[in-house]
Structure 1
């Protein structure tokens, strides 16, 4: 469960990254969304301004504090956004509901990744689009070991965030076909466009 303090300083500490590199990454990724869109773990609503040519966005977020932080960005969005308090592991939607599913910097904090992926696949239409931007365990063995050692401490101060999670491998092992990826910061961050195979 997200603490009340975490959302308050999240945007402040992320601002240097979000203002430059992350803004372009998010913009390039989210412009590929279409139709009826689901965003998982929308946080403070940082993605909302990037949605353009879509029918509507349903954004899920388990933390009531994050939801409160995101409300001004909902009002500023150019597309209809409906916010639902729900966890990624238990999405309150019928199967095959969404044309596009978006998840950015969220899988690192989800307690049950396998269940969240299964839910994502369930609610996404067959051959629907899945758009991801995540930080992952790095391929460089020294840096990966450093991530492993830092993760227990990092999880305590960053609301459960796991630095060393192998998210893309988990995605691929669950019959999600990744068709394009981009790596940033020596492979620490990865964006991906994928197709939901059922």
Structure 2
């Protein structure tokens, strides 16, 4: 993990956050209720959006990202506990969470299949599991460009796979998909599921 990526992440994402991402986060994160697990909380960009959660347990394996997230915990409307953990080995008991939130993180998880198994394990039956992720585009030329850029991109951007087909991985996980919305021509998807 490079030191520059966490420092520049918020600055690089600011134009997207001010446009469509703000609306998406308001809807997805704002609706999270009960005890919430956030996967890969990064710099804590979601923290101010939580309105209906009783509490949020947020995991983030990158200590530099977590350090930046600490100031956003102050802006939150709900209690947030930050853990240094990976999605593949969640430090929580079975059937703990009412809602799981994952935004722009599944591209970086080394083993997304294992992570989804863990998410299902720690989620209650019928828990809501929501994703906002970038994916490999269906458009042939753009998808191929993502494939070609991914090896270099992973090295520079904290392990991000530009071409990960996260929707397909979720479909194969056993989660019940309730809805999928496409944003930016299919580059970003919001996916709402039930455990």
Q: Which interval holds the TM-score relative to the shorter structure?
A: over 0.9
User: Which residue of the partner structure matches residue 64 of structure 1?
Assistant: 63
User: Which residue of the partner structure matches residue 138 of structure 1?
Assistant: 137
Secondary structure class of the residue paired with 1:133: strand
Deviation at 1:30, TM superposition (A): 1.3
Q: C-alpha distance in 1, partners of 2:136/2:171?
A: 15
Q: C-alpha distance in 1, partners of 2:151/2:62?
A: 22
Secondary structure class of the residue paired with 1:54: strand
5 Å-filtered alignment, 1:11-22, equals: 11-22=10-21
Deviation at 1:142, TM superposition (A): 1.4
User: Which residue of the partner structure matches residue 99 of structure 1?
Assistant: 98
Could you tell me which runs of 5 or more consecutive residues in structure 1 were left unpaired when the two chains were aligned: none
The question of 1:83 aligning with 2:82 is answered yes
Q: C-alpha distance in 1, partners of 2:153/2:19?
A: 24
User: Which residue of the partner structure matches residue 40 of structure 2?
Assistant: 41
Provide TM-score, normalisation by structure 2.
0.98
Q: C-alpha distance in 2, partners of 1:136/1:160?
A: 14
Contact 2:30–2:51 (8 Å) recurs in 1: yes
Contact 2:36–2:97 (8 Å) recurs in 1: yes
| Structural RMSD (CA) | 0.8
Q: C-alpha distance in 2, partners of 1:3/1:23?
A: 27
Contact 2:39–2:101 (8 Å) recurs in 1: yes
Contact 2:31–2:51 (8 Å) recurs in 1: no
Deviations 1:151-197 (A, max 9, x none): 1111111111000000011011111111011101110000011100x
Provide TM-score, normalisation by structure 1.
0.96
After the TM superposition, which parts of structure 1 deviate over 6 Å for at least 4 consecutive aligned residues? none
Q: C-alpha distance in 1, partners of 2:66/2:19?
A: 24
User: Which residue of the partner structure matches residue 168 of structure 1?
Assistant: 167
Could you tell me which runs of 5 or more consecutive residues in structure 2 were left unpaired when the two chains were aligned: none
Deviation at 1:31, TM superposition (A): 2.1
Deviation at 1:29, TM superposition (A): 1.1
Deviation at 1:98, TM superposition (A): 0.2
